Structure 1
Amino acid sequence: MTKGICELIWLKKLLTELGYEPTSTMNLFCDNKAAIAIAQNPVQHNRIKHVAVDRHFIKQKLEAKVIQFPFVKSEDQLVDILTKAISSRAFHDSLD
């Protein structure tokens, strides 16, 4: 999520330099409910100590309304066609 947020911030700065400043909150679609809950939960849990710095960065951007994390079902995640082996049905559905 942190890497995705950094890329979105970079894209927003690039668009601003090109003369088009986005005014709405950016969406980072995520198919992991646990990751969304951890990012939005202000309580630090023992099981996520290794991602504490990233979680604080994500939380900061959420509170500043720079990004939001709408949930998307795994089968509706369009980027999977570029990163995972998918069924032929899913491939043909994405062509439509």
Structure 2
Amino acid sequence: MARSSTEAEYRGMAHAREIANNPVQHDRTKHVEVDRHVIKEKLDVKLVDIPLVKIQEQLADVLTQAVSASRFQDSLDKLGSGDIYAPT
């Protein structure tokens, strides 16, 4: 388990380099490179945009790091997760 998103990104990059050097795995992941090129082309011609998401709105943070109880509950609400123990 990564202790930070930065650590997770470095682990991901290291794993990607490992895949690139393994011919069997590389053949299975060629579509990732194709997807990367397609997305880059769309970004270059401004057909798609990747907006900046404020840190307070990063829903995935509740899965990767400690957050306050209120932020945790807000994120669960936005994700549509309910309390399975709540009375109906």
- TM-score normalised by the chain length of structure 1: 0.34
Bigger Cα Rg? 2
